[in-house]
């Protein structure tokens, strides 16, 4: 584990004021970006799913998500018109399989971090990974990052080859958007 709780419980932290509403707004903005940003146009169905898994892992890593919020987040995915190239049954099977994978590990930080690394490996290098990293940072900033979220971001950043200085610039740019924009 990366300097976090070793007992299986997520470290306690106080959510930022208005965090739940900001998180939902950022989640929806991230989903809209998936079909508005040309960097995502040529992804395969598995790569699209990897993006969604990365976003969901980030949301779950804060330990503040209720079952109702998770249900709403997962239902939002069906509104996406982007690049599935599959019929509805295949999409539903893929989403359900991803949800089962994440649900099985959501209280195990080591497994969550391993899964984050595997997600990053499924994505193409370069602009896609950086765009996903930006969305993860924005989700994390929306509710005030906890240790597990910080660890997820660090694992994704390293696996994606994003230099620490670039990651710091991304976070600085997004802080104003989340808290003041």
Question: Model confidence over 114-128: pLDDT tens digits?
Answer: 999 999 999 999 999
1 domain-assigned: no
6 domain-assigned: no
The mean per-residue pLDDT over the stretch 151-174 comes to 94
3 domain-assigned: no
The band of 163, judged by pLDDT with boundaries at 50, 70 and 90, is very high
The Cα 172–Cα 18 span in angstroms is 20
Yes or no: say if 49 and 95 are a contact pair by the CB < 8 Å rule: yes
The mean per-residue pLDDT over the stretch 132-145 comes to 83
11 domain-assigned: no
The Cα 120–Cα 154 span in angstroms is 12
Lowest mean pLDDT among 77-86, 89-98, 115-124, 167-176: 77-86
Q: Does the pLDDT at position 111 exceed 80?
A: yes
> Between residues 78 and 118, which one has the greater pLDDT?
118
Exposure pattern of 151-175 as b/e (b: 16+ CB <10 Å)?
Answer: bbbbbbbebbebeeeebeebbeebe
9 domain-assigned: no
12 domain-assigned: no
Rg (CA), the chain: 15
Q: Which domain holds residue 119?
A: 19-180
Average pLDDT, the chain: 78
13 domain-assigned: no
107 domain-assigned: yes
Domain count for the chain, please give it.
1
The Cα 167–Cα 111 span in angstroms is 23
The Cα 149–Cα 13 span in angstroms is 11
Instruction: State the DSSP code for 4.
Output: S
**pLDDT tens per residue across span 3-29:** 333 344 443 334 444 556 667 777 778
> Between residues 85 and 122, which one has the greater pLDDT?
122
Q: Give φ, ψ of 87 to 5 degrees.
A: -80, 170
């Amino acid at each position: 584990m990366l300097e976090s709780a070793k007992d299986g419980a997520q470290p306690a932290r106080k959510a930022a004021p208005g965090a739940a509403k900001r998180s939902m707004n950022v989640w929806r903005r991230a989903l809209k970006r998936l079909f508005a940003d040309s960097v995502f146009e040529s992804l395969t169905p598995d790569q699209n799913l990897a993006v969604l898994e990365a976003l969901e892992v980030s949301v779950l890593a804060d330990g503040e998500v209720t079952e109702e919020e998770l249900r709403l987040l997962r239902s939002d995915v069906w509104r996406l018109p982007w690049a599935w190239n599959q019929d509805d049954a295949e999409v539903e099977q893929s989403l359900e399989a991803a949800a089962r994978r994440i649900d099985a590990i959501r209280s195990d930080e080591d497994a969550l971090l391993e899964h984050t690394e595997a997600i990053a490996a499924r994505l193409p290098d370069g602009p896609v990974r950086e765009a996903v990293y930006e969305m993860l940072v924005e989700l994390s900033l929306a509710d005030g990052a906890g240790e597990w979220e910080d660890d997820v971001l660090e694992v994704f950043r390293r696996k994606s080859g994003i230099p620490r200085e670039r990651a710091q610039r991304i976070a600085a740019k997004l802080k104003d958007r989340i808290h003041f924009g």
